[in-house]
Amino acid sequence: MKNILAPALFALALSASMFQLVHAQETPDVPEDYSYLTRLRVPDAVAQCVAAFDRWVENAPKYDTLIVPDRRVLSAKIDADTTIFSVGNPIPVDQVIVMRAFAKARGKEQWTRVDSRCGVRDGHVVGVSLTPNMKPKIVR
């Protein structure tokens, strides 16, 4: 009886640990600093994009600070029909998330409106870009 019980317990423990490992890979966690976004019912892909923008801006040569207001995060556009991130960066993606943000150039004090794009494939961010969005001038 002991000979049969030990391998069965081992197999059960192994299958339980494999389930946790596979489940952890399928659903990437939102970083703790951005967990408030899940309480606002923001989709995980959008919260991951906000976190990816913050990490990317830390090392970006052009910008040193990025702010994505909560109202822009809540109104982020999720395009699931696009299959590539952008023409200049043709990475295959499942979704492209677009939202307005504000960035500050390195060494400058002026804030610039930017359109932020984020490509997500298999639940992971695979590309980010910021494009200046100049406020249109009113011509009279």
List residues bridging with 95 in a β-sheet. Answer: 120
* Residue 76 lies inside a defined structural domain of this protein: yes
Residue 6 pLDDT greater than 60, yes or no: no
* Residue 107 lies inside a defined structural domain of this protein: yes
Total count of domains within the chain = 1
* Residue 108 lies inside a defined structural domain of this protein: yes
Q: Which domain holds residue 117?
A: 32-132
* Residue 1 lies inside a defined structural domain of this protein: no
Residue 136 pLDDT greater than 80, yes or no: no
Distance CA 98, CA 16 (A): 38
DSSP β-ladder status, 95-105 and 111-121: antiparallel
* Residue 81 lies inside a defined structural domain of this protein: yes
* pLDDT tens profile 45-70: 999 999 999 889 888 888 889 999 88
* pLDDT tens profile 87-105: 887 889 999 999 999 999 8
pTM score over 0.95: no
